[in-house]
């Protein structure tokens, strides 16, 4: 599992880095294609997250893993071939159909990359949210160890994979970079397929999976029992329900096949979100999602702001390396805290640590050297002219930028510890037959809140407004942790004396009626 996970994460990190660079190169060093790609990826997971999770729940584990793996790697492989052709024959392609062939190529690249991301989401839900729980034998201690190890692998690949493919693209060319990714995905596909098949064979419990239909049947039986408890109304109520059911079936069967499919898809999405809402860990999952609405991370927005404040690329890469180390520290602290204080308390401690470190970021907004200017009512032309006058020169003081990155880097300890806490809470408390759909909706919520932070930046794009974005980000993060505190309070009020046992009840997960 660790080897196949490392190969998958390495390929994902390489591809996400490379596709952004490729799209910029294709469109004449313009960010339009990259922005469109980001919007398509976020929107597709937001809309299809519940459907992906439902598909994971309804099919055998080995078929889900193999299908997701195959679709992901083949999509990236075909996309790499298309990119190699476009880079090699770009001038010739631009002359065909008055340039419309180029648009077709761009569309194919974005669609294939989006399909690969959706398949990657399905594979992540299947392996990291379901397989690992079964492999650990539903043991909380072993589960925490595997989750932490997988996150450490993710942190390391997040730094090394873009570095590796970036060196290939810099020293050789974009075409060679595409070829390198193509070869990696083909080799990775074979190795991961063999390893996952072997894990499936040597862990017999993976072949036993309760179907979604069993849960639906349980709800139906509960309704029947409720009807039987009212003998005086049984015949009348039964006749009314049979009449309504027959009318509903006639209406559905009279619809065209395509409309019935759409109706089923919408119904599946609705049921998925309802299942997410009724989970006992709903507030914890929502709290984690709110943490995605932030500019306080090492993404393109924060790095772009750092450049405007006189931070060099080499120093920025060094800071990213340090942040990876603090992220690894967070995974180590999680395992120790969970063993000493329990899972829910670990989340509370991690939340407090995360928020306390982010106070440095708030202080940076008002510290010397901060470019913050809240005159948002100034016309855009004046703001742009003032930005142009101050552009290219460093700040008067570096106290603000130092406090900002000190807060961002140290906060990753609490952030990753909290992330692992909520991840394990979802693994432990979600009924086995609903793990896929609930985690699919969780992915949708994460992407929705991530979209909000891009909308924030579009609304206030100037460096002078970055301080306001920092304050809004901290407010969203505080709201997320408050939701977790509400969950923790409810947990402690309703927890039983046996809630601290290391073994989860695998044979009798909470039924729908019990929830």
Token pair 């927005």: residue = 301
Q: What is the DSSP letter of 378?
A: S
pLDDT at 20: 78
Q: What is the pTM of this model?
A: 0.80
pLDDT averages per 10-residue partition of the chain, 515 residues: 93 86 72 76 88 91 94 93 86 76 85 93 92 90 93 88 83 86 93 95 88 47 40 43 44 65 81 90 95 84 77 76 89 94 95 96 88 56 43 67 93 95 93 88 91 81 84 95 96 68 49 39
Cβ neighbours, 10 Å, residue 221: 11
DSSP-assigned letters across all residues of 28-53: TS-SHHHHHHHHHHHHHHHHHHHHHH
191's enclosing H/E stretch is helix 174-202
pLDDT at 34: 74
Listed residue (162, 192, 193, 196) closest to 180, CA to CA: 162
Name every residue whose Cβ is closer than 8 Å to that of residue 364 and which is 6 or more positions away in sequence. Answer: 370, 399, 400, 401, 402, 403, 404, 407, 467, 470
């Amino acid at each position: 599992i660790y080897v196949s996970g490392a190969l998958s994460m390495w390929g994902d990190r390489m591809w996400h880095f490379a596709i952004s660079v490729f799209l910029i190169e294709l469109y004449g060093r313009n960010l339009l294609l990259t922005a469109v790609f980001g919007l398509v990826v976020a929107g597709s997971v937001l809309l299809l997250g519940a459907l992906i999770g439902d598909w994971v729940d309804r099919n055998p584990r080995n078929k889900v893993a193999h299908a997701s793996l195959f679709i992901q790697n083949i999509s990236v492989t075909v996309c790499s071939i298309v990119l190699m052709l476009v880079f090699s024959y770009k001038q010739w392609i631009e002359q065909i159909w008055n340039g419309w062939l180029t648009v077709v190529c761009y569309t194919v690249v974005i669609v294939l990359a989006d399909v690969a991301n959706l398949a990657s989401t399905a594979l992540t839900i299947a392996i990291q949210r379901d397989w690992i729980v079964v492999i650990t034998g539903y043991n909380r201690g072993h589960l925490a160890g595997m989750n932490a190890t997988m996150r450490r692998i993710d942190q390391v690949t997040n730094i090394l994979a873009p570095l590796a493919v970036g060196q290939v693209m810099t020293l050789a060319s974009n075409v060679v970079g595409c070829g390198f990714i193509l070869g990696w995905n083909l080799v990775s596909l074979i190795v991961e397929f063999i390893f996952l098949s072997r894990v499936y064979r040597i862990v017999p419990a993976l072949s036993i999976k309760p179907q979604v239909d069993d849960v639906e049947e349980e709800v139906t039986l509960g309704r029947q029992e409720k009807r039987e408890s009212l003998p005086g109304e049984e015949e009348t109520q039964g006749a009314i329900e049979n009449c309504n059911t027959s009318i509903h079936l006639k209406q559905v069967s009279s619809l065209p096949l395509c409309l019935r499919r759409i109706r089923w898809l919408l119904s599946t999405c609705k049921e998925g979100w309802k299942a997410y809402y009724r989970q006992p860990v709903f507030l914890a999952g929502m709290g984690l999602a709110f943490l995605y609405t932030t500019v306080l991370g090492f993404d393109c927005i924060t790095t772009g702001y750092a450049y405007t404040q006189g931070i060099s690329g080499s120093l920025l890469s060094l800071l990213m390396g340090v942040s990876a180390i603090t992220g690894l520290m967070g995974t180590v602290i999680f395992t120790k805290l969970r063993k000493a204080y329990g899972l829910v308390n670990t989340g509370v401690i991690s939340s407090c640590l995360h928020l306390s470190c982010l106070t440095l970021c708030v202080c940076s907004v008002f510290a010397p050297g901060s470019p913050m200017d809240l005159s948002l009512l100034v016309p855009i032309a004046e703001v742009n002219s003032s930005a142009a006058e101050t552009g290219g020169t460093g700040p008067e003081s570096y106290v603000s930028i130092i406090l900002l990155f000190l807060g961002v880097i140290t906060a990753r300890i609490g952030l990753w510890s909290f992330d692992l806490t909520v991840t394990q809470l979802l693994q432990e408390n979600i009924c086995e037959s609903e793990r896929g759909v609930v985690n699919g909706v969780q992915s949708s919520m994460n992407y929705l809140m991530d979209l909000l932070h891009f909308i924030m930046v579009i609304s206030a794009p100037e460096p002078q407004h970055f301080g306001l974005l920092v304050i809004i980000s901290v407010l969203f993060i505080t709201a997320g942790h408050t939701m977790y505190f509400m969950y923790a309070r409810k947990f402690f009020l309703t927890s039983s004396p046996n809630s601290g046992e290391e073994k989860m009840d695998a044979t009798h997960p909470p039924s729908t009626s019990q929830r």
